[in-house]
Amino acid sequence: MLRRTLLGLTAAFAFTAARAQTPELSPAPEPTPAAPVKKPYPRVKLETAQGVIVIELYPDKAPITSANYLRYVDRGLFNGATFYRASRPPGYTATDYGSIQGGLQNDPKKVLPPIAHESTLKTGLKHGEGTISMGRHAPGTAQSDWFICLGDMSYLDADPKNPKNPGFAAFGTVVEGLDVVRKIIALPVDPNRGEGAMKGEMLKQPVRILKVSRVPSTAPAPPAASAPA
């Protein structure tokens, strides 16, 4: 009896020791979901009499405005348009600040219906160096004219503290050809032409836009990988 009891205790101790030395199998880690693949941002080339400008549009942030611009591009409606305005602060002679404006100037044969206004408060875009944005009168009247910024022009963003200042609808940025933008803004203006805020900012010789077309796009840069812990 005693011998059987001792044998049973010995077997129990051996089983417990074996369990202590054998690691328990952990459940397999769940696979990390792959990050969604972003579509390449569309790019558009503006071939002008002063050189080439390439802009990149952000339809993920400003879908209405980007789609409207691409409709004009794909239908060839911008071919033969002009850059007609160069805006700089009064008395400012450098070429690193201001904006140039181009488009169809309400040509009834080419303009498409107005689009809804996309506020920078919604899109998260800002008016900075190289930003392209839509010209308009009241919000919701933008059609075919746009401007390109040189320098920080954040005063054109929507004011979160003032609903009466909805700002302008930014929708892309210049990725090539800022030097061409600087050449255009330095061209002579007619002090007597233009109305309202445009008075004295109309180019004496508008810059012809020969052709506007899509060019191969590049995919957005993937997010930086986290360092291993």
pLDDT tens digits along 108-160 = 999 999 999 999 999 999 999 999 999 999 999 999 999 999 999 999 999 99
What does the buried/exposed string (b/e) look like for 130-147 if buried means 16 or more CB atoms within 10 Å of the residue's CB?
A: bbbbbbbeebeebbbbbb
Provide the total of helices (H) and of strands (E) in the chain, helices listed first. 4, 9
The average confidence (pLDDT) of the chain is 86
pLDDT value for 195: 87
Q: In sequence order, what are the residues at sequence separation of 6 or more whose Cβ sits closer than 8 angstroms to the Cβ of residue 173?
A: 55, 56, 58, 130, 131, 132
pLDDT value for 217: 81
The residue written with tokens 């769940």 in the block is 30
pLDDT value for 224: 42
How does residue 23 score in pLDDT terms, banded at 50, 70 and 90?
Answer: low
* pTM beyond 0.85: no
Tell me the β-bridge partners of 45. 54, 213
Q: In sequence order, what are the residues at sequence separation of 6 or more whose Cβ sits closer than 8 angstroms to the Cβ of residue 80?
A: 208, 209, 210
CA 67 to chain centre: 13
The span from the CA of 147 to the CA of 94, in Å, is 18
